[in-house]
Structure 1
Amino acid sequence: MKHYNLRMNSFSSFTNDKMPPQKVSDEINEKALEIADQQARFVDWLRSVAPYIHAFHNKTFVVAFGGELVQRGALNALIQDIAFLHAMGMQIVLVHGSRPQVEEQLRLHQVESSFFNGMRITDADALESAKEAAGEVRLDIEAAISQGLPNTPMAHAHISVVSGNFVTARPVGILDGVDFQHTGIVRKIDANSIHHSLSHRKLVLLSPLGFSPTGEAFNLSMEDVASSAAVALHADKLIYLTSMPGIVEDSDLQRELSLNEAQQLQTSNTLDTETATYLTHAIRACRGGVTRVHLIPFTLDGSILLELFTHDGVGSMISDKNLESLREAVIDDVGGILQLIEPLESDGTLVRRGRTQIERDINYFSVIEHDGVLFGCAALYPYPQEKLGEMACLSVASDSQGVGDGERLLKHIEQRARAQGLTRIFVLTTRTEHWFLKRGFRKASIDNLPEDRRRLYNWQRKSLVLMKQL
């Protein structure tokens, strides 16, 4: 009610005695149309993200970021996005780094940094600096999680964060004659304790420190902790927020890579050191059973939401299996098909079909599935006696149009038609004539339709008949 009162107040500002009545009416109508447009766009957006929300509910995500994100002041925005994911039922494990904070502590203590082959040599003094830096970042994260900012996803949210000795580590040891001292690698993740915390709606926070059974502390890399945790927890996603846009090869952002493609790229020796490090841990996670690994830029506000809730995302994704499939529909796809075609039914592009009809005709449908979500569908209704087939219900999700999915569905329907011995396919359309004409269809008449289809022709819609020889 509060929102409607505000809108009425905005309308009342136009009712000035000095303003002509017609102008008042026009401005009120313009404001009403603007509000209606905003409402429609909001509904469209909510419907577009609903499949992701359903797919990600109760899934485990490991989200890792370096101390650079904290240093650049992006922590609060990230935590608000994490709170949003947590509120939607996703189980979140946060892993933070602290490299720039370690460097700052070393400078304050006048201790010189020492590296070999890109790995820090952690002596006793450097270990104390690593502890101080990790503690500083961890407290900053816990403080950000504890705040309740009005008009943000943190409003009225109470999220409990748990951190502790979840990481067991061992020393790197001596490599090429160099003793790395207190630099370590992950030996074991206490997955049972972490799962217990997640099942009680806790957010788990892991620092880049580990401990041996004898009580020694070791300085670890954020990338190692994150990939080890993702594998141990059988996480559904491992998300690295990085200072780079993703995996870039020959100036092109590689949005999707299979595990085999990632391995080939790893051995190409064309990547910079930072990218190669992240790719190594991404491959390790995929080999260990993590379904998806994402590398996304933390410099883009809301990048984690854009990556998770849009078709193309904003970074790079590595998967251990085929990311997209074009297949025949099954009964479980009915809900997704209805969601795809509803906007086109509402604006009159498609004839309305109810759930019962879709369920009855499900064997005629083909769908495009990407990462578990349907993004396109089409149906082929055969008329074997005339060797004709009707392509119907062609629909592609609004946020994935323009990338060729419609054409892929058309070619797939053509292949299905040929396999059934059909020689021509036709469509009935009121709004997409030119799209089909550009793809080899020709205008035909109602008389060219199969007899059974002619009897069902809707004379009120006056659809054009377009036909294509196969």
Structure 2
Amino acid sequence: MSAVFNFTFVPWFRSVAPYIHTHRGKTFVVGIAGEAIAAGKLPSIAQDLALIQSMGVKVVLVHGFRPQVNEQLRAKGHEARYSHGLRITDSVALDCAQEAAGQLRYEIEAAFSQGLPNTPMAGSTVRILSGNFITARPVGVVDGIDFQHSGLVRKVDATGIRRALDGGSMVLLSPFGFSPTGEAFNLAMEEVATSVAVSIQADKLIFLTEVPGVAMDPSQPVSEDNPVDTELPLDVARKWLAQLSAPQQPTDTAFYLQHCVKACEAGVERNHILPFSVDGALLLEIYVHDGIGTMVIDEKLESVREAGVDDIGGILQLIEPFERDGTLVKRSRTEIERDIHQYTVVEHDGVIFGCAALYPYPEARTAEMAALTVSPQSQGQGDGEKLLKRIEHRARAIGLDSIFVLTTRTMHWFIKRGFQPVSPDWLPEARKKKYNWDRKSQVLVKKLG
């Protein structure tokens, strides 16, 4: 095995480990557009879902079948009809939907049953469980249009789904529901996935779709080869959605976004729109910080907080590369353990992505902000500003008039945020005694209004 492979694989695998730990025991609802299956993506998606489940994630899989039903309709010389973004399901379309659903369930179960040597499915055991978990009601007549056998979700058997997941099965749902009288209704995959995610309070709702995500900047080039990577706070997503016209096609910006917003408002923590055209999109979104596609998130889920003893390892791992290249002064584990309650951290998904420490000098009514560090993976996303604001708040809370920093490389970042250069002689006497004149750090001060 080559040394180059070892050099790249080992750090990569270690960087993935926090996400494996974070997601173990969590529940994901994954909605796959029928277009993904029509495009031949099912084998790779099944492999990725099997891998995700093997790492302790509980998976509910909801498949769509728009193109498959349309193909059946064409074969019968029947036209596909839509209105208000929903299929009008007459008796012929209902038959076609039932045939398409049966065929797709067969293909999906077959994909998860593979176990050939030297493939990602080797040694995997994925048990697929389906059932009548969805109770439906008719759409009825809307604006004079009779949707006939098209339905909406009335109720989800959340207890039954959880029981199946806890038993180790992957739950597979087709976009069908049944009324208490046994009448079948054709449902939208997106609504089924959203309703299930809300009912079982899933940790993630993920749509694998034909769109590359939601671009907030109209000038941003977006394509299958250049998908967006956007994190939308819920409030921003709501406002954006309100400006968009009612979606009619799956490729309309609001089509998947409306379901993500609905799920987020109902307590589903993270909601994703991923392009199935990108190989491994699920793995990239779940196990890599930068991710891919669009995520709608309630901002309150991001934690900026004071550090505790459980954060020591994460802080050490975060600052070590910056100590090694000389950006930060080296601190021992003993020092960080001693001063841990002086630290503030930024946490995403249980992983520390930023930290800063506050060392007060009450006699001079000032404090040093030290060890301000933001992971390269999240730089440019505002974590530095969030840490600075929290440190300023902590300093004001104890009655200080200013904060100062010592830096050799990031002077301009601080000046842009209201710091002013001063001579090292300005430092409080206790800090001046520890000043390293060989390092020649710049001293910058910010007055707290």
Length-normalised TM-score, structure 1: 0.82
SS in structure 2 of the partner of residue 182 of structure 1? coil
Aligned to 1:315: 293
Q: Within 2, Cα distance between the matches of 1:361 and 1:61?
A: 38
Aligned to 1:421: 400
Aligned to 1:80: 47
- After superposition, residues 451-466 of structure 1 pair within 5 angstroms as 452-453=430-431, 462-466=438-442
Aligned residues: 430
SS in structure 2 of the partner of residue 398 of structure 1? coil
Measured after TM superposition, the shift of residue 94 of structure 1 is 0.5
Q: Within 2, Cα distance between the matches of 1:272 and 1:185?
A: 17
CA shift in 2, pair 1:264/1:207, >3 Å: same
Shifted more, 225-234 versus 331-340: the winner is: 331-340
- After superposition, residues 128-277 of structure 1 pair within 5 angstroms as 128-251=95-218, 252=220, 255-270=230-245, 272-273=247-248, 274=250, 275-277=253-255
1:311-360, Cα deviation, whole Å (9 max, x unpaired): 34222222244353433323443332233123334556545545554333
Q: Which amino acid aligns with 1:199?
A: D
1:258-296, Cα deviation, whole Å (9 max, x unpaired): 333323222223575333232222222223221121111
SS in structure 2 of the partner of residue 164 of structure 1? coil
Measured after TM superposition, the shift of residue 384 of structure 1 is 2.6
1:396 aligns with 2:374: yes
CA shift in 2, pair 1:333/1:364, >3 Å: same
Q: Within 2, Cα distance between the matches of 1:224 and 1:389?
A: 53
Measured after TM superposition, the shift of residue 98 of structure 1 is 0.4
The answer to whether the Cα contact below 8 Å between 2:113 and 2:125 also exists between their aligned partners in 1 is: yes
Length-normalised TM-score, structure 2: 0.86
CA shift in 2, pair 1:271/1:334, >3 Å: farther
RMSD in angstroms over aligned alpha carbons? 2.8
- After superposition, residues 19-34 of structure 1 pair within 5 angstroms as none
1:68 aligns with 2:43: no
Measured after TM superposition, the shift of residue 100 of structure 1 is 0.3
Aligned to 2:223: none
SS in structure 2 of the partner of residue 240 of structure 1? strand
Q: Which amino acid aligns with 2:440?
A: L
The answer to whether the Cα contact below 8 Å between 1:63 and 1:238 also exists between their aligned partners in 2 is: yes
The answer to whether the Cα contact below 8 Å between 1:60 and 1:90 also exists between their aligned partners in 2 is: yes
SS in structure 2 of the partner of residue 399 of structure 1? coil
Aligned to 1:364: 342
Please point out which of 100, 104, 115 is paired with 2:82. 115
Measured after TM superposition, the shift of residue 458 of structure 1 is 7.3
The answer to whether the Cα contact below 8 Å between 1:115 and 1:121 also exists between their aligned partners in 2 is: yes
The answer to whether the Cα contact below 8 Å between 1:312 and 1:400 also exists between their aligned partners in 2 is: yes
Aligned to 1:375: 353
Aligned to 1:436: 411
CA shift in 2, pair 1:102/1:412, >3 Å: same
The answer to whether the Cα contact below 8 Å between 1:122 and 1:182 also exists between their aligned partners in 2 is: yes
Q: Which has the larger radius of gyration?
A: 1
The answer to whether the Cα contact below 8 Å between 2:85 and 2:247 also exists between their aligned partners in 1 is: no
1:72-113, Cα deviation, whole Å (9 max, x unpaired): 111111112112211111111110000100011112222232
Q: Which amino acid aligns with 1:189?
A: V
Measured after TM superposition, the shift of residue 115 of structure 1 is 2.8
Aligned to 2:64: 97
Measured after TM superposition, the shift of residue 43 of structure 1 is 3.4
Q: Within 1, Cα distance between the matches of 2:34 and 2:442?
A: 59
Measured after TM superposition, the shift of residue 442 of structure 1 is 4.6
CA shift in 2, pair 1:458/1:201, >3 Å: farther
The percent of aligned pairs where both chains have the same amino acid is 53
Q: Within 1, Cα distance between the matches of 2:286 and 2:132?
A: 30
The answer to whether the Cα contact below 8 Å between 2:112 and 2:126 also exists between their aligned partners in 1 is: yes
CA shift in 2, pair 1:467/1:67, >3 Å: same
Q: Within 2, Cα distance between the matches of 1:168 and 1:228?
A: 11
Measured after TM superposition, the shift of residue 451 of structure 1 is 5.1
Shifted more, 312-321 versus 450-459: the winner is: 450-459
1:98-135, Cα deviation, whole Å (9 max, x unpaired): 01000111122222323333322222221111011111
Aligned to 2:265: 287
Measured after TM superposition, the shift of residue 228 of structure 1 is 0.9
Q: Within 2, Cα distance between the matches of 1:375 and 1:174?
A: 51
Shifted more, 402-411 versus 84-93: the winner is: 402-411
CA shift in 2, pair 1:92/1:424, >3 Å: closer
Q: Within 1, Cα distance between the matches of 2:409 and 2:29?
A: 46
The answer to whether the Cα contact below 8 Å between 1:310 and 1:399 also exists between their aligned partners in 2 is: no
Aligned to 2:256: 278
Aligned to 2:225: none
Measured after TM superposition, the shift of residue 439 of structure 1 is 3.0
